[in-house]
Amino acid sequence: MKISLRNSTVADLEVFFHNQTDEEANFMAAFTSEDPNNKNAYIKKWTRLLTVDSVHMQSILLDHVVVGCVVKFVMGGDSDITYALNKALWGKGITSKAVKLFLEIERTRPLYGRVANDNYGSQHILEKTGFKKIGKNTDFANARGKEIEEYIYRLDD
């Protein structure tokens, strides 16, 4: 099982869209778009983001097949990381390995990660890749339809 990254393309957005429409994946991500099933809005937004200099999007490949993504973006002046993987592949260490590879090429520091307080898998990924929990916040989570607590992580090295 070979895990690698490459620059994301418009064609990859189909896979990313499919991944985020999974109900459990959307629930765990929590801070999602209002309508995760609006494919046109998703493709339009992410096609534009592929051309934005402050966004660095890499596709996760498993044996040369696109299965997810790792993205650095800027929100509120801070550089943040997000990632998503096909749910059928969760729990196999693929995302942790992909994030490690991503951090070798994306050198922006500090880099922040934000995660729902009950998303233990994502918390583990951040901690395993060197992020430290630095705080918490309450914000509205579209996927939950209410405000929830999120943990804020930071990577400085």
| pLDDT tens readout for residues 79-90 | 999 999 999 999
**Plot region of 54 (φ>0 → left; ψ -120 to 50 → alpha; else → beta):** alpha
Quickly count: other Cβ atoms within 10 Å of residue 104's Cβ: 9
CATH no., domain 3-155:
3.40.630.30
What are the φ/ψ torsions at residue 156 (nearest 5 degrees)?
-110, -25
Mean pLDDT of the chain: 96
Report the pLDDT averaged over residues 116-143: 97
**Tokens 């498993």, located at residue:** 62
pLDDT of 80 reads: 98
46 band by pLDDT with thresholds 50, 70 and 90:
very high
